Amino acid sequence: MVHAKKGRATDAREKGDRLGNDGFIESMIEVKGRVESSMDRFDDDEIAVYCPNRALNLMSQLGRKMIRIVEDTPIALGRYYPYFSKPVENFGGLVAHPTKSVYVFSYTHGEMLRERCWAEPALKDAKIFVISDFY
């Protein structure tokens, strides 16, 4: 991950608004803890991870290898990611077999994907989280 700010490097140091390596690591540990606490309410088969490429490392760190993986890339459908026991499904599969929680790991499209989930009647009872909820 990268933390950057437009401007001169000295400006950032003078203002003290850089996390620095230690601050960044501490921040990521806190995010990991919040995600873990949230997921602890659910069994693996009650969790779907949407946009999994950004979540695979974290899920393996948390020991969540039986989660459902939802990916919009057609070539990934039915394939397996290393470490994970279930094949990749698409959004249609998630709607056809709803789960109790969906964790969207996208900063750029997170809110749009949350809205997409909320718009599906089959997912009306699911808890929908976006990674930005944990920062």
Domains with residue ranges and CATH for the chain: 9-134 (3.40.50)
Residue 12: predicted pLDDT? 44
Q: Which residue has the higher pLDDT, 61 or 17?
A: 61
Q: Which two tokens stand for residue 11?
A: 């400006």
pLDDT digits (tens, 9 = 90+) for 86-134: 999 999 999 999 999 999 999 899 999 999 999 999 999 999 999 999 9
**pLDDT number for residue 111:** 96
Q: What is the pLDDT of residues 23-78, one digit of tens each?
A: 888 888 999 999 999 999 999 999 999 988 889 999 999 999 999 999 999 999 99
pLDDT at 9: 58
Three-state SS at 101:
strand
Q: Can you give the pTM of this predicted structure? A: 0.84
Q: Which residue has the higher pLDDT, 54 or 1?
A: 54
CA–CA dist 50, 89 (Å, integer):
10
Q: Which stretches within 1-74 are classed as H helix?
A: 9-15, 20-39, 56-61
- pLDDT reported for residue 109: 94
Handedness of CA 105, 53, 101, 135 (dihedral sign): negative
Q: Given a cut of 70, is residue 13 above it in pLDDT?
A: no
Amino acid at 49: V
d(C-alpha 4, C-alpha 64), whole Å: 31
What gap in Å lies between CA 17 and CA 9, rounded to an integer? 11
pLDDT at 72: 92
